[in-house]
């Protein structure tokens, strides 16, 4: 068994709307599988099915060889889930939250205390351990939520948009924690809207859009397809943009998009920048603004699908 998680042909409809349309994915043991996609692309639905919280309408999924429909209890013994919203009890303290989960998992009183203290320590929450979590910051809540999902030492960790809404500092801390888990041999399923996050953490990436897998591969492969950076160009005079687009196209041999104000193109090699400048100069195009930056998710989607990512209006969370 080399696959820790394997899903085939998952279909899920909510009120006639297809949230998942034959999704296949596999997570290698001990690796991080990143599920990348915009809001409403089916990320949460996928995680919920793999966590036995939702039944698929069609298709099957196995976690460590256990079918999520036929052996949900075995699957639950293997997984730790950190949902999109930090599911901590606001009125309870950090310790009380963790002790409760530990007790439910069968730890006795002393063991539950020890395990909680250990995790609070590890996640930098010791000082706040005896304060109600409603006073915690967003980052602290996420860390407590993550700690809660790790009490039973799961061999699979599901993280559903773990850093959405976090400041960069808290996000880096969380990434660090995830990496440490991977070092200890945990398989991680991570959903995210951020290419950067998938790039940092994931060994393999599956890109979801409108409930379908539109691309998959290693971060390197995806970036080869989507470009690591975006070259954005504005001409000093708008009439020259057309000419500039031709020049950029000739240099990068990639599809250039322009909205009449600026031209954008994914590039994998930043060495094209001086070449573009030189050629524009030759053609007498006056550059207004020229920049290289990381692609947004929209631009990745554009590169992968030829269509911009449009967030779908689904009631995924509420009806799920």
The residues of the shown chain that bind other proteins, judged by CB under 8 A, are: 48, 51-53, 73-74, 76-81, 83-93, 96, 100-101, 103-108, 111, 114-115, 118, 122, 132, 148-149, 152-155, 181, 184-186, 318
Two tokens, residue 35: 């599920």
Structure tokens at 153: 């030492």
Give the shortest CB-37-to-other proteins separation in angstroms.
Answer: 20
CB of 87 to other proteins, least distance (A): 4
Q: In sequence order, which residues have a C-beta less than 8 Å from that of residue 121 and are 6 or more positions away?
A: none
Within 10 Å of residue 93's Cβ, how many Cβ atoms?
18
CB closer to other proteins, 98 vs 304: 98
For other proteins, which is the closer residue by CB, 77 or 200? 77
Closest distance of CB 198 from other proteins, Å: 22
- Name all contacts of 76-80 with Cβ < 8 Å and 24+ positions apart: 76/51, 76/52, 77/152, 78/154, 78/155, 78/156, 79/50, 79/51, 79/154, 79/156, 79/157, 79/158, 80/149, 80/150, 80/151, 80/152, 80/154, 80/156, 80/157, 80/158
Q: Which is nearer to other proteins, 21 or 118 (CB)?
A: 118
Determine the Cα–Cα distance for residues 256 and 244; give it in Å rounded to an integer: 10
| Residue (91 or 224) nearer to other proteins, CB | 91
Q: Which is nearer to other proteins, 54 or 230 (CB)?
A: 54
Which residue, chain included where needed, has tokens 């690796």? Answer: 31
Helices in the chain by DSSP H: which ranges?
43-50, 72-78, 94-104, 109-122, 138-149, 168-183, 195-201, 219-226, 241-252, 272-283, 297-305, 316-319
Q: How far is the CB of 41 from other proteins (least distance, A)?
A: 19
CB of 256 to other proteins, least distance (A): 43
DSSP 158: E
Please classify residue 109 by burial: count the beta carbons closer than 10 Å to its beta carbon, then call 0-12 exposed, 13-18 middle and 19+ buried: exposed
- 55 or 294: whose CB is closer to other proteins? 55
- Residues 22 and 25: their CA atoms lie apart, in Å, by 10
Sole residue written with tokens 């994998």: 268
84 or 126, CB closer to other proteins? 84
Do residues 43 and 29 make contact, with C-beta atoms less than 8 angstroms apart?
no
Q: How far is the CB of 155 from other proteins (least distance, A)?
A: 5
Supply the minimum distance, in Å, between the C-beta of residue 302 and other proteins.
33
Q: Compare residues 145 and 209 and give the one whose CB is closer to other proteins.
A: 145
Q: How far is the CB of 91 from other proteins (least distance, A)?
A: 5
């Amino acid at each position: 068994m080399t696959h820790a998680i394997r899903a085939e042909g998952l279909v899920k409809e909510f009120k006639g709307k297809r949230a998942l349309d034959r999704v296949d994915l596999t997570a290698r043991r001990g690796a991080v599988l990143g599920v990348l996609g915009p809001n409403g692309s089916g990320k949460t639905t996928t995680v919920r099915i793999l966590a036995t919280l939702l039944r698929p309408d069609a298709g099957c999924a196995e976690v460590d060889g256990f079918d999520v429909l036929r052996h949900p209890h075995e699957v639950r013994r293997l997984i730790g889930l950190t949902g999109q919203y930090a599911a901590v009890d606001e009125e309870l303290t950090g310790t009380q939250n963790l002790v409760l989960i530990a007790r439910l998992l069968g730890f006795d009183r002393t063991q539950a205390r020890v395990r909680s203290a250990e995790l609070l320590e590890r996640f930098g929450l010791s000082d706040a351990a005896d304060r109600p979590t409603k006073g915690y910051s967003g980052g602290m809540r996420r860390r407590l939520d993550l700690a809660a999902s790790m009490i039973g030492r799961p061999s699979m960790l599901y993280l559903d948009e773990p850093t959405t809404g976090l400041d960069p500092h808290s996000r880096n801390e969380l990434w660090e924690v995830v990496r440490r888990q991977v070092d200890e041999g945990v398989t991680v399923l991570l959903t995210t809207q951020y290419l950067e996050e998938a790039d940092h953490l994931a060994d393999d990436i599956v890109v979801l859009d409108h409930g379908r897998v539109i691309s998959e591969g290693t971060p390197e492969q995806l970036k080869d397809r989507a470009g690591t950076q975006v070259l954005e160009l504005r001409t000093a005079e708008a009439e020259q943009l057309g000419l500039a687009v031709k020049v950029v196209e000739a240099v990068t041999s990639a599809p250039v998009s322009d909205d009449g104000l600026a031209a954008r193109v994914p590039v994998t090699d930043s060495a094209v920048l001086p070449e573009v400048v030189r050629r524009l100069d030759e053609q007498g195009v006056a550059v207004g603004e020229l920049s290289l930056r990381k692609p947004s998710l929209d631009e990745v989607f554009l590169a992968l699908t030829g269509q911009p990512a449009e967030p779908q209006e689904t009631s995924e969370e509420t009806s799920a």
